[in-house]
Amino acid sequence: MNIETIVAQAGIGADSEKGSISVPIYHSATFRHIALGVSTGYDYSRTSNPTRKVLEDLAAELEGGCGGYAFASGMAAVTAVLMIFSKGDHLIVSDDLYGGTYRVLDKIFCRYGITASYVDTSNVEEVIAAIQPEVTKAIFIESPTNPLMKITNIREVASVAKSRGILTIVDNTFMTPYLQQPIKLGADIVVHSATKYLGGHNDVLGGIVVGATQELCEKIKFIQNSTGGVLGPQDSWLMIRGIKTLAVRMDRQQDNAFKIAKWLKERPEVKEVYYPGLPGHPGHNIISEQAKGYGAMISFKVKRKEFIERIINGVRIISFAESLGGVESLITYPAKQTHGDIPEEVRNRIGVTDDLLRLSVGIENADDLLKDLEQAMEGGRA
């Protein structure tokens, strides 16, 4: 089946006894066994829950992996993946990435002897140069990166990694499996902040991990069960419901984002626009080859810093809020919000400067969003 059908049909048939079209929510911490040595397949919801299992199987199917695992947040999912590694291991990580991932590596996992080098993974030569023989165990990629939308050639980097026995991990949050399937490009693990496009409505936290091989899936499952950061049944149901509309949401959001990106390019207040769907974007050709779309995230830099406050305080339809990927359009100031934990000198070096705004484009009417941005940029005069 095509992915549009898979997501719309998510969960149908899960309740074979009653025939419920909507997946039942199993609000049970424990399950009664039929007899000694005879189980229904479920015993304790930390280990497995029927509602969560539907979501996890769906995630694995969408990403083309052997198993999916649902966690209580995107950072819980990232943390579980990082727990695969041990003291002395070294990771290569995209230098332009979500501040929470940087924080957990720089402030927590470093205490356990896991080190990271931050490089521009869109440049495969930088990746190769950063590899430490016998020590580097994984390359962690965001593509597009957050927030500067740099594109990594996933197939090329994964090939380099495989030739050296290194894992390739891809954070696919911005793209979703509807647009990009990293495992098919050679990645070993895919991670999502499912709070974003998968849930799609800013009403549920969640994280997803999908492994490409049985060996990796067993490791992730062991960590999930042992540490217990699982997604609850109610939130699993909300996530399934959100995924059902993933295709139609992403189509609308992409269309809106392309119109807004082109409009921003012509605004006198704007000096640079970062959107991989624009032909002039340095990663446009690569993302056109490895994905079937460009996503709905736009970042842009303004010519004068005072425009930042004018835009943030002036928008009426677009909300000034953290997060992304919901049906509602949101605008964020990365230097002070999502990337505030990254040291200023690092932010400035990679380009996450005080003149940068990030826009998560929703499903509203594009003309209304353009008018909102216009009146905000013009100080409420439009």
What percent of the chain lies above the pLDDT cut of 70? 99
Of 52, 196, 249, 358, the active-site residue reads: 196
Arithmetic mean of pLDDT over the chain? 96
Decide if 259 is catalytic: no
- Exactly one of 95, 120, 171, 235 is catalytic; which is it? 171
Q: What is the pLDDT of residue 348?
A: 83
pLDDT in tens, 8-21: 999 999 988 889 99
pLDDT given for residue 79 in this prediction: 98
Q: Is 358 a catalytic residue?
A: no
Q: Which residue in 303, 300, 311, 305 sits closest to 354, CA to CA?
A: 305
Query: For 165-198, what is each residue's pLDDT tens digit?
Result: 999 999 999 999 999 999 999 999 999 999 999 9
The catalytic position among 53, 69, 89, 98 is 98
Query: What tens digit of pLDDT does each residue of 307-329 get?
Result: 999 999 999 999 999 999 999 99
* Antiparallel, parallel or unpaired: β 356-360 and 330-332: antiparallel
Active site residue 251: no
Distance from C-alpha of 17 to C-alpha of 239, rounded to nearest angstrom? 23
Q: What pLDDT digit, counting tens, does each position of 235-260 carry?
A: 999 999 999 999 999 999 999 999 99
**pLDDT digit string, tens, across residues 30-84:** 999 999 989 899 999 999 999 999 999 999 999 999 999 999 999 999 999 999 9
Distances in Å between the Cα of 189 and the Cα atoms of 62, 116, 182 are 13, 18, 8
**What are the E-state strand segments in the chain?**
67-71, 90-94, 115-119, 136-142, 167-171, 189-193, 207-211, 270-274, 297-302, 319-320, 330-332, 356-360
Token pair 């579980």 is found at 80
Whether 371 is catalytic: no
Q: According to the model, what pLDDT value does residue 381 have?
A: 53
92, 109, 227 from 87: Cα distances, Å: 15, 9, 18
Report which residue type is found at 350: I
**pLDDT digit string, tens, across residues 284-306:** 999 999 999 999 999 999 999 89
| pLDDT for the residue numbered 382 | 43
Q: How many CB atoms lie within 10 A of CB 60?
A: 22
Q: Which amino acid is at 289?
A: E
